[in-house]
Amino acid sequence: MPTPLNQRRNANAIRVLAMDAVQKANSGHPGAPMGMADIAEVVWREFLKHNPANAKWANRDRFVLSNGHGSMLLYALLHLSGYDLSIEDIKNFRQLHAKTAGHPEYGYADGVETTTGPLGQGIANAVGFALAEKTLAGQFNKPNHDIIDHYTYCFLGDGCLMEGVSHEACSLAGTLGLGKLIVYYDDNGISIDGEVEGWFSDDTVKRFESYNWQVLKVDGHDADAIRQATIEARAQITRPTIIICKTIIGLGSPNKQGKEDSHGAPLGVDEIALTRHELGWASDEPFEISDDIYEAWDAKAKGSELERDWNDKFSAYQAQYPVEAAELIRRLSGELPADFDAKADEFIKACQDKAEAVATRKASQNTIAAFAPLLPEILGGSADLAGSNLTLWKDAKSVQAHADGNYIHYGVREFGMTAIANGLALHGGFIPYTATFLMFMEYARNAVRMSSLMKQRVINVYTHDSIGLGEDGPTHQPVEQIASLRQTPNHFTWRPCDAVETAVAWKVALQTAHAPTSLILSRQNLAHQARSDEQLTLIEKGAYVLAKEKRDLQAIIIATGSEVQLAMEAYATLSDEGIGVRVVSMPCAEIFTKQDDDYIQSVLPNNVRSRVAVEAGIVDYWYKFTGLDGKVVGMTTFGESAPAKDLFNHFGITTDKVIEAVKSLI
């Protein structure tokens, strides 16, 4: 039988901190922390390999709270274990600038490995962590030197399992055999709306067995059973494990345990007093934890010893494999090789000299093939479209077939793919990229937002960028997607016009350490644009004058991607007619707007208000550059199914329309 509730003092400390913090904030979710406290106590005190004195220790186990609404569970664990999270931080739960945000936020408090707000993404991130561990081990471990060797533990709830992204990620985890991924399912049968059996009747055992997972079931309040299941899970090295833990939400609350009342609201002062009595808690004062409980939880000494042991192992590894050790240190630091910038510039100059007319998706593939040998940390993958988005290069090795691989076949899993990539980036040692058609970014949109929020270097390759993909029709033709990406904070969107801009976009994306980048690439071949060496250096600024006016400046044409060619054709005609016009190529508007005023004015002088923007996407975004008195040649509706040339004519995205717009303004 499980230990009586009033004797579980270490676990009860979690319950007390959770209910007190939620009550003080008058906001939050006490039920999940109170229900999972017994599981958390076993995992964190007996199995988790971590060091509160160094939350970024490279070979630590990773812990993810996917049911992030129960954030006080994680904050209580960090506080009790000795992390830099004081009792004042706990009291400040959900307040402005607090380390203890309403959901775990990466970068706010040491020990929080990822931001888990939207349900389901935490487990997908955990799959990314486990995949990173397995692949990094394959690339760096040597006989008798298992220098990368750690587990990923993940807690999740009913909501995570209802979200479709959990299916995408867990299905792939089973296929990849991520044996060091251990998941604890808080099977309490309650969500905000009440008992879930009315809307969630899945057979979770069969579901995960079909994924090739090991499935175990325990009483989530029986420490011995949780301990034994964890031992069994750690022994299973070829399959991930889910431990289904039958729990009671809000355990300890006499009137609210087992009910939705304890899910997403404070218990109330009176109920908290009753709960303290039920728990046998010695103090009636909020946030009061006895010294002996702190001593029982304190993980600093043990954690420091674990890290010292690993450092000794790494020193031995370093002595025998100095090159590999130096490379691992570099990659875990997130720094690029010292010579990358120069070698990338050599490749960009070669693209300029070659002057090849090519689809930017093909130019991207050529760039990956050139940069991947320089950056072994690149870990790419595509949602089943590698032959179309051209992200699989000649020397790539699939992680499915090679332990030290560098390419992931994600299958048709856009959302799962992107959330997994976030986990890969967060783990360290890799720069992940994902790929699909731009239209299917919509499936991945929330994970793209999360990489932006967490400031992670994830690169998204999105091809088939406009109505130019033609006959597949409006369901496949992106219209509003580029504008949506451009308006996402801390995210950079590149839409290059030729092979040169594509190579520059890749270079800048790889160098951008604290933000994700989306590369928007064409299906159709695009003409090479001639440039001076000076213009070549200006591409990195996000926008530059591609074609300078031949007489006094009267109008400016701003274009991106395939429409730069239309702008250049219009420029030639207008210049021949004696009109002073320039063409500005703007592959990355977000970077351009971060330049100093002098540069912005040199490209788009304020005194020239006759401006036309042209892009085969939604027009509204571009008025920020043209002004409301300018004109935008682009899309105001969805597309149609027809050959690309017919579509551009039908929607008026043509050279003649650009010329007409310029003349109407001057």
* Predicted local confidence at residue 51, as pLDDT: 98
Distance CA 141, CA 136 (A): 8
- Mean pLDDT across 222-237: 98
Selecting among 414, 501, 549, 590, the annotated active-site residue is: 414
28: left (phi over 0), alpha (psi -120 to 50) or beta: left
| Of residues 511, 507, 526, 493, the one with CA closest to residue 368 | 507
Residue type, 576: D
pTM, full prediction: 0.98
Per-residue pLDDT tens digits for 149-200:
999 999 999 999 999 999 999 999 999 999 999 999 999 999 999 999 999 9
Tell me how crowded residue 484 is: count the other CB atoms within 10 A of its CB.
Answer: 18
CA distances from 78 to 126, 178, 226, 349 (A): 19, 26, 20, 50
Task: Calculate the average pLDDT of the chain.
Answer: 97
3-class SS of residue 664 = helix
Q: What percent of the chain has pLDDT above 90?
A: 99
Q: Let me know if 5 is exposed, middle or buried by CB neighbors in 10 A (0-12, 13-18, 19+).
A: middle
- Mean pLDDT across 85-113: 98
Instruction: Read off the pLDDT band of 2 (50, 70, 90).
Output: confident
Is 64 within 8 Å of 155 (Cβ atoms)? Answer: yes
Q: Which two tokens stand for residue 581?
A: 């016009």
Residue type, 334: G
* Predicted local confidence at residue 1, as pLDDT: 74
> Is residue 545 scored above 80 in pLDDT?
yes
- Mean pLDDT across 119-130: 98
Helix (H) / strand (E) containing 433: strand 431-437
Could you tell me which residues come within 8 angstroms of residue 584 by beta carbon, excluding any fewer than 6 positions away? 543, 544, 545, 546, 556, 557, 558, 559, 603, 604
Instruction: Read off the pLDDT band of 576 (50, 70, 90).
Output: very high
Distance CA 454, CA 446 (A): 12
Apex 413 CA angle, 492 and 494, nearest 5? 15
Active-site residue 549, yes or no? no
